[in-house]
Amino acid sequence: MLRPLCVVALCASFAAAAKVYPSALAHGMGDSCFNAGMKEITALVGKTLDTYATCVPTGATLAEDTNNGFFMTMNKNVDAFAAAVRNDTGLAGGFNCVAFSQGNSVCRGYVQRYNDPPVKNVLSVHGTVVGVAAFPHCDPTGLMGPVCRLVASLAGDAAYTALTQGLLFQIDYYRDPLRVTSDAYKAHSELAAWNNEGNVVNETYKRNFVSVDKWIMVKAEKDTMIHPNEGEHWGAFADGSLKKVLPMRETPWYVEDLFGLKTVDERGGIFFNATAGDHMQFTKEELVAWLEYYFL
C-alpha cells in the first residue's frame, strides 16, 4: 500500500518540477542488471518518467555482476559503479538513483565518495543504507549456503579487521551494535567510514550527501532480510543493544549530524514510505506511483 508523507505545498512543488532526470538503477544481492527482471524494471522506470534509464552493473557479464555483489568489497563495487556511470553520456548531466536492497549501499557510496556526475534524487527500496545488525534470512543449507556460511564465520569479532573487510560485500555493511564503539570497528569498517563514525571524519562525504535533493526511503514492514528493518528508514539498534530500535532522529549519526542526514531532514529532503510485505515484495504499480509522485 502506498503511503506517501506529503503536505499540500510540497506536493505542489513536486508537480511543478522543471526537469525530469535520467535514472541509474542499482540491483540487489544475488541479482544482476543482465537478468530479465532488472531489464523489465529498468524499462518501466524509463517509460514512466519518459527519460533515459539504465541499470548499472558492477561486472561485465551476468556471472561477474552477480558474483561481485558478494565477493567484491562494498567500496570496490562503488568504484565499478562510478566508472560505468562516468562512461555513460546519458547520465552526464546528473541523474536519479533508483536502488533496490543492497544496491542502496552502492548508490549511497557513490553519492558520498564520488557524486560526479551528481545524483539529484534517491529512491531507496528496502535498502541496506545504514547496514544490518544480522543476516537472519541467510540459510547456510540453502542455495546461498557458501555465502551464508562465510557471513556467519566473519560475524562478531572477526568482522572488523583489514583482512575480513576485504573479503565480502555483506561484511562491509555489517554494523554490530555490540561492537560499534570498538577500536576495530572504527579503524576498519567501511560502513563506519561512510557514517563518519570511524577514526577519520571526511567532510566530502557529508557535503556530497547533503547535495542530493530528495532521499525517498521505502521500508518493508515485514522485512526478514534487513535487520532491523528500521534501517531502511535510517534507524538502527541502539549502541550496545540487540533489542532497542532507534528511529532515525534518535540515532547518533542524526543527533550529531555525522554525514548530513539531519541537515537534509531539516530542509525537508527525507521522505518515508512503506510496503506491507517482506523484503523486495512490491508491485509494479507501487514502483510507478513512487516514481510519478517524487520524480515528476
Q: Which residues are the active-site residues?
A: 101, 223, 279
**Cα distances (angstroms) measured from residue 90 to each of 1, 53, 87, 211:** 33, 8, 9, 20
Q: Position of cell 506536493? A: 11
List CB contacts of 183: < 8 A, sequence separation 6 or more: none
What is the chain's length? Answer: 296
Q: Position of cell 537534509? A: 264
List CB contacts of 276: < 8 A, sequence separation 6 or more: 1, 221, 222
**Cβ neighbours of 151 (radius 10 Å):** 21
